[in-house]
Every structure is written in structure tokens, then in C-alpha cells.
Structure 1
Amino acid sequence: MRFGKIDYLNLLPFDVCVKVYPLPSYMKKCIMLKKSYPAKLNQDFLFGRIDAGFISSIAGYQSHYTHKVCPTGIIAKGAVWSVIVKKGSGFDYQSDTSNALLQVLGLQGEVLIGDRALLFKHNGGEFEDMGALWWERTGLPFVFGRLCFRAHGKLIERISRVFNKHYGNKHKKIPYYILMAAARRSGLESWYILEYLEHIFYAIGAKEKRGLERFYREVRLKRIKRPHRF
């Protein structure tokens, strides 16, 4: 199985889950092998270079309607901290969904996502939080990414169920050595990472589905281009 994983702090709990989930060691290695930023994984998924992974919601549009998705995603219910707009102009090459959300919200500015956004916020930069703006406008969660698959659906769905059970809407318990490694890699303090993770949810329920459908409708109405193979 070829699995694609977003290499950001928001999936740190998923790393923990993979380490403790009863899978063969070679399978765990496969899941953790392919790491990149969201837009790159979107292309890998659409071109069939990976079988499954956390894909940006806008790139998972087709998977959503063909039911090749799991009830697991990267979700904000208000301020998210890691998807922001600062003064400037231009899209973020790392994220297709956040660039689309910028247009849906009618904002102008430069998009920052992931660990770069967290560093910018931590250093006191001025910005608008797109998760908070979406929540204020719709009263619905925003699903930034979705666990999608092209193959190995049953295995991915089992992993999704276990992950949701332990991390979907609960306090994220991160082993000390994993947390310290993430802090060194990102340049952020460990307490700040834990505080950030309190703003991230993973289990997709009825409200999350409504938020996703609302986003897709806005994308269609505004004729925002979705990622395609060609």
C-alpha cells in the first residue's frame, strides 16, 4: 500500500496512532514513508502515485461523491491557527483547499498554512484566521483534509475507526519523546504544540459533512477550479 501523509503538526496524533496500531512493521513503514505538503499529495493521489492518504478536501471532491472516503479528516471548529491570511498577495503553493477557501470567503491577502502559519502566529504577526471566519459565517466546522482511498479501502477504514475512537474528539495524548522531536523539528515549544492540537478535530460527523457540502457548493457557485490530473 502506498500511503500519503501530510507532514504537518496537525497529524501528530495520527503518527502516534500508527505506532500503536497492530499492523505489521512493513505496513507501518509504508504509511509513514510518503510525507509531503497537501498540494503535492493531491497530485500524487489524482495521478495514482499513492493509494490512500489525507487529501485536501477540494482534491477529495470526486472521492466524496464516489464514497471512497473515511469519516476522518482534519477539522476546525472555529479558530484553527494553522490556516491564516496575512497582508500581501498570492496563494500558498502548499495548499489547494486553503486557496479555495480564501476565494469562498472573499478575502485578499497571502495564505499561510501548516507549521509556517503557526510560527507566524507565535511570533506575533497580524493575520486573519480562516477557520474562525468560516465558523462565524456558517456556524459549521470546516474540513481542511479528508482521509481518501483509491485502493485498500477496508484496511484504511479500519485504521480510521481506531483513530477516531482514540483521537477523533478527545484530548491528544502525545508521548514525550514524540512531542520533543516535533518541537525540535518545527521550532515551536512543546506546550504551544499541545495548545494548537486542542483546536484540531478528526472525526467527521453530521455537522462536518454539512460543512463540507456547504464548501463544495460555494466552490461550484464561484466556479473555483478544482485540482485535476490534466
Structure 2
Amino acid sequence: MRFGKIDYLNLLPFEVFIRSYPKPSQFWLFYNKKKSYPARLNKEFLFGRIDAGFVSSITALRARYEKFKPANVGIIAKKRVISVICLSKENGEDYQSATSNALLKVLRLQGRVLIGDRALLEVLKQQTRGRRDYIDMGEKWVQKEHLPFVFGRLCVRKNRAFYTKMIHAFSKRRVKIPQYILQKAESQSGVCKKEILKYLQVLSYKIDNKANFGVERFYRKLRIFRIKPPKRF
């Protein structure tokens, strides 16, 4: 029951859901220890240090070789994403995300990748100054491919029966985030409650047929550009 979760605001609805979902005590104990950024969780998952978790969607390309199952739940941008951006006046990858670094190359963009809550704060800061010196990479993908982009994906290696039920329940449930959790998220991230809720509205979590086509299109582009997914070694 070793579960890893991306420790960003984009999974706040899952955080609320899992608090009330019936689960073994060992799941909850481990869950609170294994929260990190996507690239770190990729390694944890591929090395077998976690049995399931939200990882970069590019990692799911290793499913056939590593013998795990990508689920139909992930972090999906159907129009824009806000929290994955390219700063066009700078250069460099973001060590926290393998998928977003690959997407930069697929989109043929030049600049520095910034993801997660840091990217969201940068976007909000620029908005207050009336600037937009960045490219929303989710939005750019949708403009080019007319398909959603899946940034993270829940993958499962062990205890599949438990996770299959959990995934089904999460994909069906409409989650309302309590004020006390929003308050805590605000104090930890520096993003105000109102902006957190606005941000979460642009995301979805069930990988439907259209989102799945988006995943397959991305994987095809990776093969064309010869971009390799993360490996253990």
C-alpha cells in the first residue's frame, strides 16, 4: 500500500477524496510520507519504492517493460493548464518534470520550463503587473493538436484490486474542497483561496476517450523526436 502523490495544488481534489475514502491504516501512514514532485516520484515508482501513485505521464511509456498498469485517472488540461509554462526569455529544463521537459521539445519551444505551484505563482505575479512573458504549454498543445494533454497519470504496480476500486470511486465523485483545507493550501503555497479554486476549474482528472487520444498523440511525437521516457538506469 505504498502510494506516492505529486505534492502540488493540482491534486487537492484527490487529497480531499482520499481523506474520506475507506483505506487500510498503512496506506495513510505511507501516503503522508511519499509526497514529492513528478520526476522524483518517477524514480520512486520505477525502482519499486512505491506501489502506485501519480507520476509524469511520460513514465507510462515504460508500462510494458516494467509490468505496471496506467490508470484512466490523471492530471488533464483540456484548454489551458496555467501551472506548466515556458519562460521564453530564459533557458533550461525543470528538474521536477520529465513530461513537461519533453513537451517543450515536442512543441518546438525555446525557453525555460517551470511547473507546479511555482509556475502558478509566476503567472499570477505577471497578471498583477499586466504582463505575459510566458507560454502556457497546455494551451499551446491544445491549439496545435486539438486534443487535451495529460501531464500526470496514476500508475499501479501492486494491490490492483484495491486501487481499481479507488480509481473508479474518484473518477465518479464530485469533490468539494472544505474551507479549512483551502486555508491550509493557501498558507503553504502562497496562492490565495480564490485563485486556487479558479485554477482547479481548468483541470480534469478522468482520462476519457479524447484525453486518451491526446496521450497517444504525445507518445507518437516522443517516438518521432526520439525522446526517451525515464528509466531506472
What is the letter of the counterpart of residue 61 of structure 1?
Answer: L
The Cα of 1:14 is off from its aligned counterpart by 0.5
Partner of 1:22: 22
What is the letter of the counterpart of residue 103 of structure 2?
Answer: L
Partner of 2:135: 128
Aligned length: 226
Partner of 2:45: 45
Which of 190, 202, 207 is the aligned partner of 1:204?
A: 207
Partner of 1:74: 75
The Cα of 1:67 is off from its aligned counterpart by 6.6
The Cα of 1:209 is off from its aligned counterpart by 0.7
Partner of 2:120: 118
Q: Distance in 1 between matches of 2:28 and 2:68?
A: 25
What is the letter of the counterpart of residue 114 of structure 1?
Answer: G
The Cα of 1:16 is off from its aligned counterpart by 0.3
Which of 191, 195, 199 is the aligned partner of 2:198?
A: 195
TM-score under structure 1 length normalisation? 0.94
Q: Distance in 2 between matches of 1:73 and 1:201?
A: 8
The Cα of 1:62 is off from its aligned counterpart by 2.2
Partner of 2:36: 36
What is the letter of the counterpart of residue 206 of structure 1?
Answer: N
Q: Deviations over 1:119-177 (max 9, x none)?
A: 0001015210000000001110000011101111111111111111114xxxx521111
Q: Distance in 2 between matches of 1:79 and 1:49?
A: 33
What is the letter of the counterpart of residue 76 of structure 1?
Answer: A
Q: What's the secondary structure of 2:161's corresponding residue?
A: helix
Partner of 1:10: 10
5+ residue gaps, structure 2, are 127-131
Contact conserved, 2:72 with 2:208, CA < 8 A, in 1? yes
Q: Structure 1's 64 and 201: CA in aligned 2 closer, same or farther, altered over 3 A?
A: farther
After the TM superposition, which segments of 4 or more aligned residues of structure 1 sit over 6 Å from their partners? none
What is the letter of the counterpart of residue 74 of structure 1?
Answer: I
Identity of matched residues, % = 54
Partner of 1:54: 54
Partner of 2:103: 101
What is the letter of the counterpart of residue 51 of structure 1?
Answer: D
What is the letter of the counterpart of residue 189 of structure 2?
Answer: S
Contact conserved, 2:78 with 2:148, CA < 8 A, in 1? yes
Q: Distance in 2 between matches of 1:3 and 1:106?
A: 34
What is the letter of the counterpart of residue 115 of structure 1?
Answer: D
Residue 181 of structure 2 corresponds to residue 214 of structure 1: no
What is the letter of the counterpart of residue 192 of structure 1?
Answer: E
Partner of 2:229: 226
What is the letter of the counterpart of residue 3 of structure 1?
Answer: F
What is the letter of the counterpart of residue 24 of structure 1?
Answer: P
Q: What's the secondary structure of 1:178's corresponding residue?
A: helix
Q: Which moved more, 1:181-190 or 1:62-71?
A: 62-71
Q: Distance in 1 between matches of 2:46 and 2:25?
A: 27
Q: CA RMSD in A?
A: 1.4
What is the letter of the counterpart of residue 130 of structure 1?
Answer: M
